[in-house]
Amino acid sequence: MRNTFGKTTAMAAVLAATTGMAQAEDVEVLHWWTSGGEAAALSVLKQNLETEEIGWIDMPVAGGGGEAAMTTLRARVTSGDAPTAVQMLGFDIQDWAAEGVLGNLNDVAEAEGWDAVVPEALQAFSKYDGNWVAAPVNVHSSNWVWANKAVLDELGIEEPKTWEEFVAALQAAKDAGKTGLAHGGQPWQEATIFDGVVLSVGGPEFYRAALIDLDAEALGGEQMVEAFNRMGTLRSFVDDNFSGRDWNLASAMVINGDAAFQIMGDWAKGEFVNAGKVPGEDFLCFRVPGSDGAVSFLSDQFAMFAQGDDAAKEAQAKMASAIMSPEFQIAFNTVKGSVPSRTDVDASPFDSCAQKGMEQLAAASESGSLVGSMGHGHANRAAVKNAMYDVITAHFNGEFTAEEAADELVNAVEAAQ
């Protein structure tokens, strides 16, 4: 479907009528950044836009994976009431662009030279039919482990380098009465763990064959069975109350010393930093053991929905320009836990975990070990991703053996294509 939306949405009209606060250049922003660290990062963008005299109409939809936000967006667009800008991931941007409802950012992108500074892997999602339709805010990666250093020191645990060492460290924490692995029982969180586990089993080659190329032999073969076996091992170190827990509450378990480890994307670092913790002193960051050298990436982007009003288009362009400025990329990503979406940003203001992430991202891109995160919509479109979610979560909850899960994964992916 192809629609053109006026600048003033119903919500903006209500606010203008009831409060008188809506300005000529407001942007209504739909997003799911609602945790402490995320909200702190988002405030950087709000403040930046305030200096451009752009009003911010906030539309947060809680849910760390963004599924609830996409459901809300679908309802808004269907009713002809699209927000000005929407936080999106991966193939969701491409799907909305294919419906003809996204705006065009080519003018600001060309004026500021985005093509030269944004990695091609990100541009594949930022552009549609060669046109810029979204501004990338950051680059996250999902195959990280976060550890409470005091807990590890107390138990005499060194940073694990191999899968076997990681399992032994989880067991030591469990034996000491701690939760080995802090986790929230939500499908996207299990899929996040799965990103790192698949990489730990067969590296980027296997990951790409199974989760991106959807090769049936890779999806149902011995390496995938081993990946599910490893997921089962991790499940044995999760506490009994994990079901439905939000990811940031799992991060808090590690921050507070109730758990030793969490496998989560680098947005988790924002929670540690927001709690006043220092990398290397209070917590450790390292790749899922066995996945070293490989990076499963995702990028938060703001897609701009088509507007008919010139003032609204100007506000969108200013928002996109603000997002892509090196100064904002530094200010935002130092708080968010991610790394900049452009390659020419100075690394010195970033902490040791971020600098490690920036180095590993560049190295993985150079070596061909940079892969799109399945768990976060950068490997395949939503239908396939959701089919994988169902199998991964069912196995994690004990409904399938590892062998059955591998078989079900083949069937689910075939049905979803």
Q: What is the pLDDT of residue 376?
A: 95
Q: What is the pLDDT of residue 61?
A: 94
Q: Are residues 149 and 278 in the same domain?
A: yes
- Give the Cα separation of 2 and 101 in Å (integer): 6
Choose one of 351, 367, 389: the last residue of a domain: 351
Q: Are residues 145 and 189 in the same domain?
A: yes
- Give the Cα separation of 297 and 119 in Å (integer): 12
Q: Are residues 159 and 135 in the same domain?
A: no
Q: Are residues 268 and 373 in the same domain?
A: yes
Q: Are residues 276 and 179 in the same domain?
A: yes
Of residues 304, 299, 264, the one with CA closest to residue 283: 264
Four-point Cα dihedral 387, 392, 398, 404, nearest 10: 70
Q: What is the pLDDT of residue 41?
A: 87
Evaluate whether residue 79 is within a structural domain: yes
Evaluate whether residue 1 is within a structural domain: no
Mean pLDDT along residues 49-70 = 89
Most confident stretch, 43-57, 76-90, 114-128, 222-236:
222-236
Which CATH number characterizes residue 410's domain? 3.40.190.10
Q: Considering only residues 211 and 18, tell me which one the structure prediction assigns the higher pLDDT.
A: 211
Task: Write the DSSP assignment of 310-367 as a string of letters.
Answer: HHHHHHHHHHHHHHHSHHHHHHHHHHHS-B-SSTT--STTS-HHHHHHHHHHHHHHHH
Evaluate whether residue 4 is within a structural domain: no
Of residues 293, 312, 315, the one with CA closest to residue 371: 293
Q: What are phi and psi of 248, to 5 degrees?
A: -70, -25
Q: Are residues 278 and 303 in the same domain?
A: no
Structure tokens at 98: 């294919």
Answer whether 42's CB lies under 8 Å from 59's CB.
Answer: no
Choose one of 332, 351, 370: the last residue of a domain: 351
Q: Are residues 124 and 156 in the same domain?
A: no
**What is the band of 309 on the pLDDT scale with cuts at 50, 70, 90?**
confident
Q: Are residues 218 and 135 in the same domain?
A: no
Q: Is 372 helix (H, G, I), strand (E, B) or coil?
A: strand
- Give the Cα separation of 9 and 209 in Å (integer): 43
**What is the band of 38 on the pLDDT scale with cuts at 50, 70, 90?**
confident
Q: Are residues 265 and 188 in the same domain?
A: yes
Full-model pTM: 0.86
Structure tokens at 382: 């939503």
Number of compact structural domains in the chain: 2
Q: Are residues 107 and 169 in the same domain?
A: no
Q: Are residues 358 and 226 in the same domain?
A: yes
Evaluate whether residue 5 is within a structural domain: no
Evaluate whether residue 393 is within a structural domain: yes
Please report which helix (H) or strand (E) contains residue 383, including its range: helix 382-396
Q: Are residues 309 and 235 in the same domain?
A: no
Evaluate whether residue 3 is within a structural domain: no
- Give the Cα separation of 264 and 242 in Å (integer): 15
Q: What is the pLDDT of residue 342?
A: 92
Evaluate whether residue 43 is within a structural domain: yes
Q: What is the pLDDT of residues 314-368, one digit of tens each?
A: 999 999 999 999 999 999 998 888 999 998 999 999 999 999 999 999 899 889 9
Element counts in the chain: helices (H) and strands (E): 19, 14
Q: What is the pLDDT of residues 68-92, one digit of tens each?
A: 999 999 999 999 889 999 999 999 9
- Give the Cα separation of 308 and 296 in Å (integer): 37
Evaluate whether residue 2 is within a structural domain: no
**What mean pLDDT value characterizes the chain?**
91
Q: What is the pLDDT of residues 136-177, one digit of tens each?
A: 999 999 999 999 999 999 999 999 999 999 999 999 999 999
First to last CA, the chain: 22
Burial per residue of 320-341, b for 16 or more beta-carbon CB atoms within 10 angstroms, e otherwise = bbbbbeeebbbbbbbbbbbbbb
User: What's the domain range around 156?
Assistant: 141-296+354-416
**What is the band of 64 on the pLDDT scale with cuts at 50, 70, 90?**
confident
CA-only gyration radius of the chain, Å? 21
